[in-house]
Structure 1
Amino acid sequence: MNSIRTVIKNFYGMKLKKYSNGIFFLSTILIEYISILIAEKISLIIQHSLLFPNGEFFLLDLYFYILIPFIYIFFLQYNKANERFILYWETLQRIFWAVLYSEVFCVIVLYLFKSADYISRSYIIIFFVMSFICICIGRNLFIKLCRKLHIMQEQVIFIGAGKTTEKLIEFANNNNCLGIDVVGIFDTKPESKKLQNKYYIFNDFNELKKYIKKYDIKTVIIAIPSIDKVKLFNLIEDLQPIVQNLMFIPNVVGMPVFNLEVKKLYQSNMILLGIRNNLTKKSNRLLKRIFDIWFSLLAMILIVPVSIVVMICIMIESPGAMPIFKHYRVGKEGKLFPCYKFRSMVPNAQEKLQEYLKSNPEARAEWNTYFKLKDDPRITKIGRFIRKTSIDELPQFINVLKGEMSWVGPRPIIKDEIHYYGKYINDYYAVLPGITGMWQANGRSDTGYDERVVLDTWYVRNWNIWIDIALIIKTIKAVLFGKGAY
């Protein structure tokens, strides 16, 4: 496998890198085409084998192999579903809308050509779901393959060798992106030792321009948010004529940029930045509530059987107390509510904790920092397992149905933790706490408290429904691999 990877990488590096953008475009179209054909086939199998075994439903080859895939590929490209520098949940959002537009357009075309009688309404729904799933899976597999072989990466030169460039490179090489090939960084006074040790640093601007022209570098990113306006303008004036994509980081660090809107005032040669708070709209809060109820009812198919088994195991190992307990947490608008969990500790847990903390100063410091202990003497054997897998939090779906919690939101805190939020506590009070959230999906118990507050605040200020869906998926991955849980 290593030899195959080397051959592909060398061939790509020598022959194809010059045409990487064109190859990337054609490759994504091929992946989308294959994904759509698979979705069509699976939908027909479900339709014929499971729903209507005796039904006469079919698609003409013209529609199956050409028309429907063409419509889907058009809308996927139109919605920029394969853009490189976008987050995972934004990719899901773009794919979803592309699939929805395609589905509607396909139905209209089939109706106009009087072919709608050959398919059923159930097939349309099945194909909508399967096409979304197959396109997402196809894209993820394509990205994993490209990153493993180190191909299809866009060549990029950065201006500025500081923390901003470090973060951008980290973002591009993670977050379900294809990654970038950093061929050099220009900075006369580089700050980051990490970047200096890893990449070539240009000190001469003329040398940089010659390199860009010689090797046809198409993307340059100015990663200096605090740069002087005149210097930024001069850089843009010098570089824009010789590069295809010129980007810069504006000085909006710390602002809620996910819901940022850019309005172009052409005649005045200005841009107007608008920041939306989605959770202030009643329609968005209603959408979030509907999603919570729908997902809870769907999840009950799995939650109820697992819960019965867990309760029996808890009662067998540590009898004497109920298998489900409630612990009062701070909810929306600062109101206390009973947060349900499976009991993972011995019945006399509080007394045992105080004794342990008195005799163990290191554990006391850990408790004061995280309100958790890695080696907690109170936890039972079954308790350790359900904590590791986060099964102990399954009863919280009851809180969700009662409207006390959401599936995704800030971590529910106790009164003693309020002071950690400081001025950001109003962001916490503005929404329902969640079973999962930003910090659970990005490190879980390994995340420090300051970072938890930042992540929770970011979530509240940048919310949209696709973030919720993506965080649930990321949490499932974190649970399956046991990342950061104790």
Structure 2
Amino acid sequence: MMKRKSFLGILLAIIESFVYVFFYQILSTNNIQIPQALLLYLIYMFIFGHYAMNDGLIWDEIKICGKAVFTYMITFTIIVPSSSLPTRRRWLIMLGIIMFFFSVFLSRTLRILARKFVAKRTMVLGTGYDALRYVSVAKRNRFAMTLVTGIVDLNNNCRFPEKFENLIPPNQKVFDSFPVINYNTFLEAVNKHQVDQVVVIAPELRPTSLDLIMKEIDEKVPSIKYSTQGDSLTNFSSQVQDLDGILLISTSRDEMHWYDRFIKRIIDIAAGIVGSIITLPLMLCIKIAYLRDGDHAPIIFKQTRIGLNGKPITIHKFRTMVPDAEAKLEELMRQNPAIHEEYKKNKKLVNDPRVTRIGKFLRHSSIDEFPQFFDVLAGRMSLIGPRPYLPKEKEDMSYFYKSIIKMKPGITGMWQANGRSNLTFLDRCKLDLYYYKNWSLWLDVVIVIKTFKAIIYGKGAI
């Protein structure tokens, strides 16, 4: 497999070289520096890992290519003679932008075409939420060099005294393609060398059980990965330290620096201005639509939510329900125990009878969220952040509450970009905690892109 990945990386570099020379000749009137310029480009792409063809998501590749191209442009700008700098700078920037998009596109195309031959045949140990989410991401993400071939249920095995979360019935397939097998069958598959990678995602595993698994598959599988045990310790700020042979993980979650908050606020103001301008004509159109349905109630819905540091804030949305929605909900829950149980678990109703005809469209398209741009401008909310929770949900948030309230709630966030209303309340809390622990400007960019995709395809909207 390593040979196949290396060949794919070499092929990627060769094709990019031809394309680079082609555009270099078109954009530049002086072709003397082509070898030096091309070599510099290839070196930076290699240093940042573009040709390694590692397992990952498209966002990782965009980040790698962006860093490499930016560094290349800065370096080449410095070494270009000052007499020709203005002219060179223009075509250099154009060439860098062209190669950035082409490199990302070519890498994605080659990975998809060669996925069947290059992807790691992966077995996932675990049947809980995190394990199934990993399987789901691997299935729909054609860019990654991961091909899940089976899921291993660790329950009912004498080796492990733990009781593991199991979201799927035994001996059934998941997502119509992944067989669920027991641990003994998995060991047989490993012994036959049919597995390239094992991914352990079972937070309930005790250290002794994890050590047992590692001993039984070590040297039989080229690659072994495992998730961290628990949510409270490890994040992207963590560092591995070697203290004279003792392996330590240094982790912390400091408050956002003032310059991080400043940059995030500037982005919020810019987004708030643009969003507010778009919202104004939408208000007129929605009001007319409601009037045509004989609904004369206000179209703006106000509600108190939990804001930064737990302070109550008022947020605004386009009304999507009947005017007396809260009273109607109480009545429905009294009359129907199933509705009461569904709302208690998810804080939402999938087929909510209170939603109006216009409201269904507003929710499906997420247009109902647009008035929150005014809240972003006012500083009550952020463009991206945790979900704005209701005060009555504080008790259900459990220990997640103290971390989530340290950031302003957002119009969009991790849960909207990763399933929207398909997720349970607990799943949404976990994702918001992840956002707090691993925040970065790049993560915000990824969330915005994924939110647009979720809206376009209508995934998870109710």
TM-score, normalised to structure 2, is 0.77
Contact 1:265/1:271 (8 A) holds in 2: yes
Match 1:104 to one of 57, 74, 85: 74
> What does residue 437 of structure 1 align with?
413
String of CA shifts for 1:381-412, please: whole Å, max 9, x gaps.
22110111111101211212222111221110
Contact 1:325/1:342 (8 A) holds in 2: yes
Contact 1:311/1:342 (8 A) holds in 2: no
Change (3 A) 1:447 1:182: closer
Change (3 A) 1:464 1:327: same
1:179 and 2:145 correspond: yes
Residue type at the aligned position of 1:265: D
Q: Structure 1 stretches of 5 or more lacking a match? A: 1-16, 45-56
Shift of 1:143: 3.6
1:404-423 residue pairs with structure 2 within 5 A? 404-423=380-399
- Distance in 2, matches of 1:272 and 1:407, equals 36
String of CA shifts for 1:186-226, please: whole Å, max 9, x gaps.
99979885443899744498xx4xx66xx9x9x55574864
Residue type at the aligned position of 2:3: Y
Change (3 A) 1:129 1:406: farther
Change (3 A) 1:265 1:458: same
Residue type at the aligned position of 2:120: E
Contact 1:330/1:415 (8 A) holds in 2: yes
- Distance in 1, matches of 2:277 and 2:112, equals 32
- Distance in 1, matches of 2:86 and 2:74, equals 16
Match 1:151 to one of 96, 117, 140: 117
Change (3 A) 1:222 1:332: closer
> What does residue 196 of structure 1 align with?
181
Change (3 A) 1:380 1:234: closer
Shift of 1:477: 0.9
For residue 298 of structure 2, give the secondary structure of its aligned residue in structure 1.
coil
1:453 and 2:456 correspond: no
- Distance in 1, matches of 2:214 and 2:327, equals 65
Deviates more, 1:29-38 or 1:476-485: 29-38
Greater relative CO, 1 or 2 (CA 8 Å, sep 6+): 1
- Distance in 2, matches of 1:40 and 1:291, equals 35
- Distance in 2, matches of 1:396 and 1:466, equals 23
Q: Structure 2 stretches of 5 or more lacking a match? A: 161-169, 172-178
1:386 and 2:327 correspond: no
Shift of 1:347: 3.4
Residue type at the aligned position of 2:299: P
For residue 430 of structure 2, give the secondary structure of its aligned residue in structure 1.
helix
For residue 383 of structure 2, give the secondary structure of its aligned residue in structure 1.
strand
> What does residue 52 of structure 1 align with?
none
1:277 and 2:253 correspond: yes
Question: How many residues end up aligned between the 2 structures?
Answer: 436
1:5-154 residue pairs with structure 2 within 5 A? 19-30=3-14, 32=16, 58=28, 60-61=30-31, 67-81=36-50, 83-111=53-81, 114-120=83-89, 131-147=99-115, 150-154=116-120
- Distance in 1, matches of 2:233 and 2:59, equals 16
1:403 and 2:379 correspond: yes
Match 1:463 to one of 420, 439, 444: 439
Contact 2:420/2:459 (8 A) holds in 1: yes
Contact 2:56/2:144 (8 A) holds in 1: no
- Distance in 2, matches of 1:35 and 1:325, equals 54
1:484 and 2:460 correspond: yes
TM-score, normalised to structure 1, is 0.74
Contact 2:139/2:148 (8 A) holds in 1: no
